[in-house]
C-alpha cells in the first residue's frame, strides 16, 4: 500500500501522527470525526518532482501526479483518463466582469462529468490495492456516479447510496454503469448514515469522501493542474463551491504541496462558495461559532450538505489561504448558469457554476479586486441536471414549418 513518499497520517483534530499501518481510515483516538490528513515526505519528493519531471511527463491526466497521490503504479494504466481538464482563458466573461485575467477550469469534462472522478479514481485504485470485493459510498449524486463509473471500468462491484432527490441524470448514470443503487427515502444525512452502517456491517471499501483521507489527495490534483497549466504561477484567487468540504480541502492541499516543493511562490486565496439555501460554513464563519446543522434547501444538489463531513479541512483551507466564505442565492446560480453558457460555451450544473456566482458577488462587494487574477472551477457538467437548467432558459415554442412565420419570428427577435 501507499508509496515511499508517504510518511503517514496526521489527525486533523488531535494532531497525532500515525504510520500508514497504524490507522485505518479515521483517527483511532478521535473516532469518526478524527479525519486524517496524508503527510508526505517533501524532501524525498523534491528529488523527483521538479520542473524537468513535468516537462518530460507525457501523461496528460491526473495520474502524472501519482507520486503525490500515494497510489502505486500497478493499475494506473488500466484506469480511465481522469483530469488534465482544460483551463480556459475567458474572453467574453472577463470583459463583462471587468477582470483582466480570468480562467475557467472545466472539470465537468471528466469521464463521469464532475470533479468527483479525481477522488473516485484514487478510491477504486486503493480498493483494488486493498483487495476489496465491493466499493461503496453515499453521495448527493456525483461521487456516486463517478464511483460507479470507475468501479465499472475496473470490474469492481459498487453499492451506492443517494438521497431520493438526486437528479435523474446522476441516478441514470449510476444504474447505467451497473452499480447497485440504493435510493434512500430521506436526505443526504440519511443516505450517509445508512451507507456507513452497511459499510461497517459488510466490510466494503469506503469511498465516503470525508472519512477516507485519500479522497482529498485525488481532489487536490485540480490545483496541481491549474498551477502547472499556468506555468506554476497560479492566479491570485481560486473560487470553488463547497458541500462536504473535501473539494476545497483538496484545492488547498494541492497548492500547499506545490509550495512545499518550491514549485510555486504563494498559495492562491480561496473563495469558498455555498448556496444561501444551505450555508452551514458561511453561518459558522460569519458568527464565529462552531458549525451547526443546516437545512438542505438548494437546487445546487451537489452542495446541499446540511452536516458537512469534512469541516476541519475545509475551514483550514480557507483560513490558511487567507480566503473568504461567501454564499449566493439559487436565483444567482441559475442566472450565471445561463450566463456562462452564453458567454463562454460552457455548461455547468448548479453547484458547478456556484463558484462563478460567488466570484461575481465577491467583485461587487470589493472582496476580489478587478486587477486581481482569478480562476473559478466548474466542478460538474450541466447535462447531469437538465431539469434545473431549464429554469435558467426560455423554452422555444413549436413553429409551423413556414418561411413567412420564421421571417416574422426572426424580425421580432431582431436577428434579421
Ligand atoms: C461534490 C461537489 C462539490 C462540492 O464538493 P465537497 O467536497 O462536497 O465540498 C461541488 N460541486 C460539484 C459539482 C460536486 O459534485
Ligand atoms: Zn485524533
Query: 18-41 pLDDT, tens per residue?
Result: 998 887 789 989 988 899 999 999
SS3 399: coil
Topology of the domain comprising 97-103+215-377: Rossmann fold (3.40.50)
Ligand 1 binding site (Cβ under 6 Å of any ligand atom): 114, 116, 142, 209, 241-248, 302-303, 305, 349, 351-352, 379-380
How far is Cα 28 from Cα 396, in angstroms, rounded to an integer? 58
- CATH 3.40.50.1100 segments of the chain: 97-103+215-377
Given the CA of residue 209, which atom of ligand 1 is nearest to it? 7
Given the CA of residue 244, which atom of ligand 1 is nearest to it? 8
Percent helix, strand, coil in the chain, to 5, is 45, 15, 40
How far is Cα 411 from Cα 408, in angstroms, rounded to an integer? 5
How far is Cα 315 from Cα 252, in angstroms, rounded to an integer? 10
**What are the φ/ψ torsions at residue 276 (nearest 5 degrees)?**
-65, -15
Strands across the sheet containing 135-138: 180-184, 158-163, 135-138, 205-206
Q: How many Cα neighbours within 13 Å face the side chain of 174?
A: 26
The three three-digit cell numbers of residue 158, written as one number? 459498487
Strands across the sheet containing 87-89: 87-89, 102-106, 374-378, 237-241, 269-275, 324-328
What is the average pLDDT value for the chain, to the nearest integer? 95
What pLDDT shows up at residue 1? 43
How does pLDDT run across 101-110, given as a tens digit for each residue? 999 999 999 9
Say what the pTM is: 0.95
**Residue 22: nearest ligand to its CA?**
2
Residue stretches of the chain with pLDDT short of 70: 1-2
Going by C-alpha positions, the residue among 274, 297, 285 that lies closest to residue 188 is 297
* Beta-carbon contacts of residue 211 (< 8 Å; ≥ 6 apart): 25, 26, 32, 35, 196, 309
How far is Cα 156 from Cα 96, in angstroms, rounded to an integer? 47
Give me the residues near ligand 2 (ion), CB cutoff below 5 Å. Answer: 11, 13-14, 27, 29-30, 34
Amino acid at each position: 500500500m501507499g508509496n515511499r513518499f508517504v510518511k503517514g497520517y496526521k489527525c486533523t483534530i488531535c494532531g497525532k501522527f500515525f504510520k500508514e499501518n497504524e490507522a485505518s481510515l479515521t483517527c483511532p483516538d478521535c473516532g469518526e470525526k478524527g479525519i486524517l490528513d496524508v503527510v508526505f515526505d517533501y524532501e524525498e519528493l523534491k528529488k523527483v518532482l521538479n520542473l524537468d519531471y513535468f516537462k518530460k511527463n507525457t501523461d496528460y491526466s491526473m495520474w502524472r501526479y501519482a507520486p503525490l497521490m500515494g497510489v502505486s503504479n500497478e493499475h494506473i494504466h488500466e484506469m480511465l483518463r481522469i483530469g488534465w481538464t482544460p483551463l480556459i482563458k475567458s474572453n467574453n466573461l472577463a470583459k463583462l466582469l471587468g477582470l483582466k485575467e480570468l480562467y475557467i477550469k472545466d472539470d465537468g469534462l471528466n469521464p463521469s462529468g464532475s470533479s468527483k472522478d479525481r477522488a473516485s479514481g484514487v478510491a477504486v485504485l486503493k480498493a483494488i490495492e486493498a483487495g476489496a470485493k465491493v466499493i461503496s459510498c453515499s453521495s448527493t449524486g456525483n461521487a456516486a456516479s463517478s464511483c460507479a463509473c470507475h468501479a465499472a471500468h475496473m470490474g469492481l462491484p459498487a453499492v451506492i447510496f443517494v438521497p431520493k432527490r438526486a437528479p435523474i441524470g446522476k441516478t441514470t448514470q449510476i444504474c447505467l454503469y451497473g452499480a447497485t443503487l440504493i435510493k434512500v427515502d430521506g436526505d443526504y444525512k440519511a443516505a450517509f448514515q445508512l451507507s456507513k452502517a452497511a459499510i461497517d456491517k459488510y466490510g466494503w471499501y469506503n469511498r465516503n469522501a470525508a472519512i477516507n483521507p485519500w479522497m482529498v489527495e485525488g481532489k487536490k490534483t485540480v490545483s496541481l493542474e491549474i498551477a502547472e497549466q499556468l506555468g506554476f504561477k497560479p492566479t491570485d484567487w481560486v473560487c470553488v463551491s463547497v458541500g462536504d468540504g473535501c473539494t476545497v480541502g483538496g484545492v488547498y492541499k494541492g497548492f500547499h504541496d506545490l509550495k512545499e516543493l518550491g514549485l510555486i511562490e504563494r498559495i492562491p486565496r480561496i473563495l469558498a462558495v455555498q448556496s444561501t439555501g444551505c450555508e452551514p460554513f458561511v453561518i459558522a464563519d460569519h458568527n464565529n461559532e462552531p458549525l451547526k446543522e443546516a437545512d438542505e434547501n438548494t437546487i445546487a444538489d451537489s452542495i446541499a450538505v446540511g452536516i458537512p463531513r469534512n469541516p476541519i479541512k475545509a475551514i483550514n483551507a480557507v483560513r490558511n489561504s487567507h480566503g473568504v466564505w461567501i454564499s449566493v442565492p439559487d436565483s444567482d446560480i441559475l442566472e450565471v448558469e445561463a450566463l456562462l453558457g452564453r458567454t463562454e460555451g460552457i455548461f455547468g450544473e448548479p453547484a458547478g457554476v456556484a463558484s462563478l456566482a460567488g466570484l461575481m458577488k465577491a467583485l461587487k462587494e470589493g472582496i476580489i479586486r478587478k486587477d486581481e487574477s482569478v480562476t473559478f472551477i466548474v466542478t460538474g457538467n450541466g447535462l447531469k441536471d437538465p431539469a434545473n437548467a431549464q429554469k435558467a432558459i426560455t423554452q422555444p415554442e413549436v413553429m409551423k414549418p413556414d418561411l413567412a412565420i420564421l421571417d416574422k419570428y426572426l424580425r421580432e427577435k431582431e436577428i434579421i
